[in-house]
Structure 1
Amino acid sequence: MSKRELLIYLSALLLFPLMARAQWEVETDPAAYALKGFSAHVGRPIWKGKAEVLLGAYGLETPKAWHGNEGFTETSKGIALKPDYFPLKPAKGLFVGMEADFSRDHYRFDSTGEDLQRNHFRLGPRLGYRFDVGRHFYISPWCAVVYQFNSQDEVISGHRFKQSNYTFFPTVHLGWRF
């Protein structure tokens, strides 16, 4: 047995008891699918449900009405980390947290097809509410105001794609608690 295999085996043995008692959640954002993308997140409540950590992946095509740059197409694919705190009830109701994501954004000037890609890091607060619908299913409307650290206007085929450092992002996640 190699050292790597032994490490994996021992890690599984050590983590299995924790995972067997753990409550796990999966979430998705239906809006991402409507925007030619995807969304999948896995969450783990901590501190007796008073907090939660979500880790996910997403992709979407930003509507022109949102980015405001006529003649351009913008798509994003990335990963997100969302730690949240539930101040009123464990894993229910009001939550406050942070949104941190790293994305690969693709910009294309539609009439020429010329394009470029940039990596971006975003961070900001988020606020939401979790509604339980039965024992396992829940709905979480939330919004975030994120700051894009390396935001700059992009020039493609002599045309400027203007960007803001701040983005307001409202959405609704659907979740399932195991």
Structure 2
Amino acid sequence: MPTRPVVTRAVTALAPALAAALAVTAAIRPAAADPAAMVETDPATFALGGFAAHLRVRPGPRHLVVGAGAYALDLPALLVDARAANRDAGWQVRLTGAAGFVDHYLAAAPRGWFVGVEVAVQRYRYRNDDVPGMEAATVDLLVMPRAGYQWRPFAAGFYVLPWLGLGYAAEVAGDRRVGDREYAASPVVPYAAVHLGWEL
């Protein structure tokens, strides 16, 4: 079972990548615009017993937005049971993650269509109803190309950001076995979300 220091080290490893992205975009500066900052969340995570908090920044280039965030949720049965081996097998799975992302907007950011990539470190905790008092955990590294649309119903402030992604998760630490049971995980991770945000 991974310990919290493993997760901490993995999350810390994302910081240089995000700093490098900011430095590169600051050096390029095509079609410069005033910097902008946005805060956003995914309301669905709260309904699933978790949270989501993201900070996104347009550092200068008009079409580019970079960001980072943290999130947690209990996986719904629909996702747990997507693998036949897990179906009706008593699994309870909680996901906690931290991510960095870079998005390129087709129009002047931050509005309209965008494509980008998210890199995340995610910790999964596994429990099973048939093995009370025991749990297991893994740490994954996720790389997910994504696409979405940032809709601004007003001239400034509030926005809605629906997006879709399809990623690949590599297990880097831990074990999915709880007692004599093993959770079946797929390395291919589809995802969809609707974020709500506010430009500061």
Task: Please classify the TM superposition score into its range, dividing by the shorter chain length.
Answer: 0.7 to 0.9
User: 5 Å matches for 1:80-159?
Assistant: 80-113=99-132, 114-134=134-154, 135-150=156-171, 154-159=176-181
Q: Residue by residue, what CA displacement relative to the aligned partner does 1:35-54 show, whole Å, maximum 9, x if unpaired?
A: 10000000101343311011
Q: Which has the larger radius of gyration?
A: 1
Q: Distance in 1 between matches of 2:76 and 2:109?
A: 36
Q: Distance in 2 between matches of 1:107 and 1:170?
A: 22
1:64 aligns with 2:86: no
When structure 1 is superposed on structure 2, of 152-161 and 76-85 the one drifting more is 152-161
Q: 2:46 maps to what in 1?
A: 33
Higher normalized strand content (fraction of residues): 1
Q: Distance in 2 between matches of 1:49 and 1:25?
A: 15
1:161 aligns with 2:183: yes
- Structure 2 unmatched runs, 5+: 1-33
* Per-residue deviation, 1:89: 2.9
Asked if structure 2 preserves the Cα contact closer than 8 Å seen for 1:59 and 1:78, the reply is: yes
Asked if structure 2 preserves the Cα contact closer than 8 Å seen for 1:153 and 1:162, the reply is: no
TM-score under structure 1 length normalisation:
0.83
C-alpha RMSD of the superposition: 1.9
When structure 1 is superposed on structure 2, of 21-30 and 74-83 the one drifting more is 21-30
Equivalent residue pairs, number? 159
Q: 2:67 maps to what in 1?
A: 54
* Per-residue deviation, 1:105: 1.1
Q: 2:196 maps to what in 1?
A: 174
